[in-house]
Amino acid sequence: MGGSIVCFGEMLLRLSPPGARLMVQAQSLDMVVGGAEANVAAALAALGHHARMVTLLPATPLGDKARAELGAAGVDTRFVARPRKDMGAGRMGLYFMEPGAGLRPSSITYDRAGSAFALADPAAFDFAGALEGAALLHLSGITPALGPNGVALARAAVAAAQAAGVPICLDGNYRAQLWESWDSDPRGVLTELVSAATVLIGNHRDISLLLGKTFSGDGAERRREAVDAAFAAFPNLELVASTARHVVSSDHHRLAARVDTRGSKHQTAEIDVTGIVDRIGTGDAYAAGVLHQFLRGGDAQAMAECGLALAALKHSLPGDFCLIGADELAAFSAQGGDVRR
């Protein structure tokens, strides 16, 4: 399947104390650029796809930095908007992360209210231009979680994709802190968006939220029961992809992946991911790996295994972006390996 993959959403700055310090111990903060949809765009670009980002960045040095890093990752930034002059320069959305260690998990605090993206007018984005000749629109449930204006932004992106006949991939990416910060209706909003989607990145818990139903059974049976219910509820849906993560400690997780289509399914074996450098962005890497094979016509097994491999590799990279190339992905082994010369 040719054409660009268009990713729409907010870019963020991540600020973290160096090492494994708590925020109260910090005298400096490390800064990296990220954001769920931008992470997917960067990962797909690294795998050789033409990825295009649609977002709005403040007219500040921080906005310039975010755009430059996206471009350096190989992503098309021509449809990155800036605030109208009467709106001022705007601000970046931020999140603060205290990195975990041992049995202490990482902790995230958002500072996104009033960001340039969250306040943006849907008319600020050239969706029609960005979607011309596109193979897919990717967005996530984070955008509508930002507030009523975020809901309007997500609806505008989906409506533009539908008008252009472009398939939609939605990553549920449920963020309780964001939804609970305003008088929101996550079930109603996400159900509306998933109704338009061809691909859903989400597990049985996401489907439970959408359908208001608890699924019985354990493991694979529970997940297929949930997927069948999603396929029955959402006629446009063709593919559901998810991961299962068991946390042993902050630097040792066990990870498995699953892809379901209407006619097939594949669940991978669980692999050990040890020596974790950075947990953030691994779900976005999984989504990119699934889409990498989906766009190439891969079957459920190819999509699940590719997504798992890219997610596992992302755990070894600092920062939000997964910059693993196609050759490195093809050489992936769950057992790791020696220096390649």
Residue 318 lies in a domain: yes
> Taking the model in full, what pTM does it have?
0.95
How many angstroms separate the CA atoms of 173 and 197, rounded?
A: 14
Higher pLDDT, 205 or 311: 311
What is the model's pLDDT at position 216? 64
Residue type at 193 in one-letter notation: L
How many angstroms separate the CA atoms of 95 and 116, rounded?
A: 15
Residue type at 327 in one-letter notation: D
What is the model's pLDDT at position 333? 77
C-alpha torsion angle, residues 122, 125, 130, 135 (rounded to 10): -30
How many angstroms separate the CA atoms of 171 and 40, rounded?
A: 10
How many angstroms separate the CA atoms of 283 and 200, rounded?
A: 13
How many angstroms separate the CA atoms of 37 and 53, rounded?
A: 8
Segment 42-62, tens digit of pLDDT: 999 999 999 999 999 999 999
Mean pLDDT computed over 97-111: 90
Residue 176 lies in a domain: yes
Residue 143 lies in a domain: yes
How many angstroms separate the CA atoms of 131 and 29, rounded?
A: 37
Contact by Cβ (8 Å): 41, 5: yes
Mean pLDDT computed over 277-301: 96
Strand partners, 244: 256
Average pLDDT, the chain: 94
Q: In sequence order, which residues have a C-beta less than 8 Å from that of residue 266 and are 6 or more positions away?
A: 258, 259, 299, 300, 301, 303, 304, 305
What is the model's pLDDT at position 214? 87
What total number of domains does the chain contain? Answer: 1
How many angstroms separate the CA atoms of 279 and 250, rounded?
A: 9
Residue 285 lies in a domain: yes
pLDDT band of residue 215 (cuts 50, 70, 90) is confident
Host domain of residue 53: 5-330
Where does residue 102 rank: exposed (0-12), middle (13-18), buried (19+ CB within 10 A)? exposed
Residue 341 lies in a domain: no
Within the chain, what is the greatest distance between any pair of CA atoms? 56
Q: For helices 61-72 and 36-46, what crossing angle results, to 10°?
A: 30
Mean pLDDT computed over 115-131: 97
How many angstroms separate the CA atoms of 56 and 116, rounded?
A: 7
Mean pLDDT computed over 7-31: 94
pLDDT band of residue 87 (cuts 50, 70, 90) is confident
Q: Which residues of 39-56 are buried (b: 16+ CB within 10 A; e: fewer)?
A: bbbbbbbbbebbbbbbbb
Residue 230 CA from chain centroid, whole number: 20
How many angstroms separate the CA atoms of 280 and 296, rounded?
A: 26
Mean pLDDT computed over 83-112: 90
Question: Hunting for tokens 């991540």 — which residue is that?
Answer: 14
Q: Is the pLDDT of residue 341 over 60?
A: no
> In what helix (H) or strand (E) does residue 329 lie, and over which residues does it extend?
helix 326-330
How many C-alpha atoms does 208 have within 13 Å on its Cβ side? 8
Q: Is the pLDDT of residue 103 over 90?
A: no
Residue 234 belongs to domain with CATH number:
3.40.1190.20
Mean pLDDT computed over 213-226: 76
Contact by Cβ (8 Å): 250, 103: yes
Residue 337 lies in a domain: no
What is the model's pLDDT at position 85? 83
Residue 275 lies in a domain: yes
Q: Which residues of 137-170 are buried (b: 16+ CB within 10 A; e: fewer)?
A: bbbbbbbbbbbebbbebbbbbbebbeebebbbbb
Residue 335 lies in a domain: no
Q: Which of 113-117, 221-225, 320-324 has the lowest average pLDDT?
A: 221-225
